[in-house]
């Protein structure tokens, strides 16, 4: 809604902010060092509201934990917005100067009274009210989120519903206030920066935009497609339709990580050719026709990555890659050579310098500066620019720095695609554990003393009703499949909700259960909300 996709604020800002809404994020475990900054902020007197179906280790630090129903985020956000307006706490000056569509938004959220908010989310109205007032009246405030917001079928709407709150209160474009999506991997942001999105060139320049199109065509000396490509979920749809017959996977393990994973495996199996470039013989690699052994990006290669605060930093090789492993860019170059194109032998710095000529956001970030200044935050348009700790200061400029006003969005509460039924009466949601990472390909190699494996967390009341005990092995089924796992009885999640991590596919193939309903705009699947049932295993 505001332009380039990235967290608006620096980590340092959260140390000085007054109110924090931690929404669908267990940063204590998933982003521990960011959480250090957040804790410094709490120590400095910030108040925190944690909006999360589970009372996570992050939520335990909050002044209030608001345990909303899985997938009721838009209802919560709209109720907060409605209350801010009803209490006349919105920033009228900012709204008038910097935004558009307020009246429509106001009318749209009108039905989301506190009582309705309570009905839709399960959170007491008084707590929603208190959070709304705290956020609106704070001098500075930030909303942080992670996959609890984005791993839903309506991920983009979820995000926009939070952006509305920032627009409503002017908590954007200033030091200490902002919207911060925390990235799950060291270069999710950098991938976006570099144009690894189906609709973008590097530097978030739009495919199809005539100026950008012309610039890149000149630079790369060829005609480029002017229509967006496919994102991951659409690729799987295309595989299903048969319009994609070959896939080249780089550093991803979809045969374990996709929602409704059995279906994904079938599709991968059915390809004419599958090429996998990875550092490990993953489950996906095992299915491949060709495996290209790669080196470890952060320990064996030169290059850059971009963090959640838009900080571009250098990675450097510390050890040599084993055997025939090659750097990703060398593999791609070799592939080009075999396909008959000679790219020469550019170094990672040469590639970076080319990027700087094409992406204004990165133009000022020489390797030398990245080295000496501990990384730089984009936009950094020239060599004298200090980088940008926060984004969207233009919202306060006269004439909005030549841009259009930021639009309010109309966001409708729908709830998860997969509703609970008599057959599948429990909600399953998923998340990370502190000591593990994704499908465990990397993290399971070290001996964590605090790793407990894959268990399903169940509220004591549900456990009672089901007659299951702590540690008992049970069958967990969704409309897509069944797995066996051990139960852990947990008071930190409400009745009706269950939780598991997804780090041990070799032990529990949890994505057999998850829902692949996906968001048409982001392509993200609804990992966070499946309907399941738990059954005792007969005779133990």
The beta strands (E) that lie in 34-164 are given as 47-51, 64-66, 99-100, 141-145
Q: Which of residues 379-398 bind other proteins (CB under 8 A)?
A: 389
| The one among 30, 79, 143, 167 contacting other proteins by CB under 8 A | 30
User: What angle is formed at CA 366 by the lines to CA 361 and CA 371, rounded to 5 degrees?
Assistant: 120
For 178-335, list the strands marked E by DSSP.
178-181, 200-201, 205-206, 246-250, 273-278, 290-293, 303-306, 311-315
| CA pair distance 535, 453, nearest whole angstrom | 20
Q: Exposed (0-12), middle (13-18) or buried (19+): which is 289, by Cβ within 10 Å?
A: exposed
236 φ/ψ angles, rounded to the nearest 5 degrees = -65, -35
Question: Which residue in the set 111, 229, 246, 322 belongs to the binding site for other proteins (CB under 8 A)?
Answer: 322
Q: Among 97, 215, 263, 314, indicate the residue that binds other proteins (CB under 8 A).
A: 314
Burial class of 107 by CB neighbour count within 10 A (0 to 12, 13 to 18, 19+): exposed
Which of 14, 19, 21, 66 lies at the binding interface for other proteins (CB under 8 A)? Answer: 66
CB atoms within 10 A of CB 338: 8
Of 255-263, 319-327, 354-362, 391-399, the window that binds other proteins (rule: CB under 8 A) is 319-327
**Measured from the CB of residue 165, what is the shortest distance to other proteins in angstroms?**
20
Residue partners of 221: CB distance under 8 A and separation at least 6: none
* β-strand pairing of 19-23 with 141-145: parallel
- Binders of other proteins among 215-254, rule CB under 8 A? none
Dihedral sign for Cα atoms in the order 523, 183, 6, 349: negative
Binds other proteins (CB under 8 A): choice among 86, 188, 331, 332: 188
Smaller CB separation from other proteins, 42 or 86? 42
At 403, give phi and psi (nearest 5°): -100, 170
**Closest CB to other proteins among residues 63, 209:** 63
Separation of alpha carbons 279 and 249, rounded Å: 12
Number of residues engaging other proteins in binding (CB under 8 A): 83
Secondary structure in 3-state letters for 390-425: CCCHHHHCHHHHHCCCEECCCCCCCCCCCCCCCCCC
Residue 267 backbone phi and psi in degrees, to 5: -65, -45
Distance separating alpha carbons of residues 435 and 445, to the nearest angstrom: 11
- H-helix or E-strand spanning residue 486: strand 481-489
Which x/- pattern, by CB under 8 A, does the window 445-464 give for other proteins?
xxxxxx--------------
CA distance 158 to 302: 36
Of residues 76 through 135, those in contact with other proteins by CB under 8 A are 122-124, 127
Work out how close the CB of 35 gets to other proteins at its nearest, in angstroms, rounded to a whole number.
Answer: 8
Would you count residue 62 as binding other proteins (CB under 8 A)?
yes
Instruction: Kindly tell me which residue out of 86, 232, 420, 434 binds other proteins, with binding defined by CB under 8 A.
Output: 434
Closest CA to 499 of 518, 465, 476, 519: 476
Closer CB to other proteins, residue 211 or residue 446?
446
By CB under 8 A, residue 186 contacts other proteins:
yes
Q: Which of 113, 137, 313, 475 binds other proteins (CB under 8 A)?
A: 313
Q: Of 301 and 531, which has the nearer Cβ to other proteins?
A: 301
Q: Which residues within the stretch 455-514 sit at the binding site for other proteins (CB under 8 A)? A: 494-495
- Minimal distance in Å, beta carbon 405 to other proteins? 27
* Site for other proteins contains 137 (CB under 8 A): no
| 171, 183, 369, 480: residue in contact with other proteins (rule CB under 8 A) | 183
| Binds other proteins by CB under 8 A, chosen from 442, 464, 471, 520 | 442
Buried b / exposed e over 138-160, threshold 16 CB at 10 Å, is bebbbbbbbbbbbbbbbbbbbbb
Least CB distance from residue 286 to other proteins, whole Å? Answer: 12
Which of residues 184, 228, 425, 479 is near other proteins by CB under 8 A?
Answer: 184
* DSSP-derived secondary structure letter, 380: -
Stretch that binds other proteins, among 155-163, 310-318, 407-415, 523-531 (CB under 8 A): 310-318
Helix (H, G, I), strand (E, B) or coil at 83: helix
Q: Which of residues 31-60 bind other proteins (CB under 8 A)?
A: 31-34, 36, 39, 42-43, 45, 47-48, 55, 57, 59-60
Smallest separation, CB 352 to other proteins (Å): 15
Kindly tell me which residue out of 2, 23, 61, 236 binds other proteins, with binding defined by CB under 8 A.
Answer: 61
Select the span of 132-140, 197-205, 355-363, 438-446 touching other proteins (CB under 8 A).
Answer: 438-446
Instruction: Report d(CA 351, CA 336) in Å as an integer.
Output: 15
Subset of residues 269 to 308 that bind other proteins, contact rule: CB under 8 A: 279-281, 296-300, 305-308
Please state the closest distance from residue 441 (CB atom) to other proteins, in A. Answer: 7
Quick check: 376 binds other proteins (CB under 8 A)?
no
Specify the stretch interacting with other proteins by CB under 8 A; choose among 239-247, 436-444, 471-479, 507-515.
436-444
**Residue number with CB closer to other proteins (407 or 440):** 440
In the window 323-362, what residues touch other proteins (CB under 8 A)? 323, 325
Q: Which stretch binds other proteins (CB under 8 A): 30-38, 155-163, 220-228, 266-274?
A: 30-38
Kindly calculate the radius of gyration of the chain based on its CA atoms and give it in whole angstroms.
Answer: 24
Confirm if 315 and 371 have CB atoms less than 8 A apart.
no
The interface region with other proteins, picked from 187-195, 214-222, 259-267, 349-357 by CB under 8 A, is 187-195
| Residue 71 interacts with other proteins (CB under 8 A): yes or no | no
């Amino acid at each position: 809604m505001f332009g380039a996709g990235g967290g608006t604020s620096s980590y340092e800002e959260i140390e000085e902010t007054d109110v924090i809404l931690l929404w669908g994020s267990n940063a204590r475990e998933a982003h521990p060092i960011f959480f250090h900054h957040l804790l410094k902020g709490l120590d400095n007197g910030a108040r925190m509201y944690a909006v999360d179906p589970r009372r996570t280790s992050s939520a335990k630090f909050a002044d209030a934990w608001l345990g909303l129903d899985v997938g009721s985020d838009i209802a919560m956000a709209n109720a907060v917005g409605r209350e801010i307006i009803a209490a006349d706490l919105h920033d009228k000056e900012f709204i008038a100067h910097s935004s558009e569509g307020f009246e429509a938004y106001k009318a749209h959220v009108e039905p989301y009274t506190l009582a309705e908010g309570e009905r839709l989310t399960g959170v007491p109205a008084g707590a929603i009210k208190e959070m709304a007032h705290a956020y609106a009246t704070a001098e500075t405030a930030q909303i942080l989120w992670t996959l609890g917001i984005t791993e839903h079928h309506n991920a983009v709407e979820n995000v926009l519903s939070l952006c509305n709150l920032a627009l409503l209160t002017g908590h954007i474009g200033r030091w200490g206030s902002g919207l911060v999506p925390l990235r799950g991997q060291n270069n999710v942001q950098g991938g976006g920066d570099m144009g690894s999105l189906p609709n973008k060139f590097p530097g978030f320049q739009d495919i199809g935009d005539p100026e950008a199109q012309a610039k890149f065509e000149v630079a790369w000396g060829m005609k480029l497609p002017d229509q967006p490509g496919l994102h991951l979920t659409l690729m799987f749809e295309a595989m299903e339709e048969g319009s994609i017959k070959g896939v080249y996977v780089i550093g991803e393990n979809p045969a374990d990580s996709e929602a409704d994973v059995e279906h994904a495996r079938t599709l991968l199996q059915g390809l004419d050719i599958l090429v996998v470039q990875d550092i490990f013989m993953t489950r996906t690699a095992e299915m491949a026709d060709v495996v290209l052994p790669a080196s470890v990006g952060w320990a064996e290669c030169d290059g850059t990555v971009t963090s959640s605060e838009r900080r571009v930093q250098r990675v450097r090789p510390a050890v040599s890659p084993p055997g025939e492993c090659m750097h990703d860019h060398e593999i791609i170059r070799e592939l080009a050579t075999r396909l008959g194109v000679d790219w020469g032998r550019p170094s990672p710095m040469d590639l970076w310098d080319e990027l700087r000529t094409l992406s204004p956001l990165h133009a000022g970030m020489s390797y030398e500066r990245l080295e000496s200044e501990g990384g730089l935050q984009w936009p950094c348009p020239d060599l004298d620019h200090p980088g940008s700790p926060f984004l969207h200061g233009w919202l306060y400029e006269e004439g909005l720095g030549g841009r259009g006003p930021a639009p309010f969005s109309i966001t409708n509460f729908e709830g998860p695609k997969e509703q609970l039924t008599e057959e599948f009466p429990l909600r399953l949601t998923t998340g990370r554990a502190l000591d593990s990472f994704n499908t465990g390909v990397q993290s399971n190699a070290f001996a964590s003393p605090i790793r407990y494996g894959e268990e399903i967390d169940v509220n004591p009341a549900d456990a009672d009703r089901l007659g299951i005990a702590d540690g008992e092995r049970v069958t967990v089924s969704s409309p897509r499949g069944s797995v066996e796992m051990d139960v852990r009885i947990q008071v930190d999640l409400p009745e009706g909700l269950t939780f598991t991590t997804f780090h041990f596919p070799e032990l529990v193939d949890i994505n057999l259960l998850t829902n692949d309903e996906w968001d048409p705009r982001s392509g993200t699947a609804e990992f966070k909300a499946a309907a399941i049932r738990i059954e005792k295993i007969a005779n133990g």
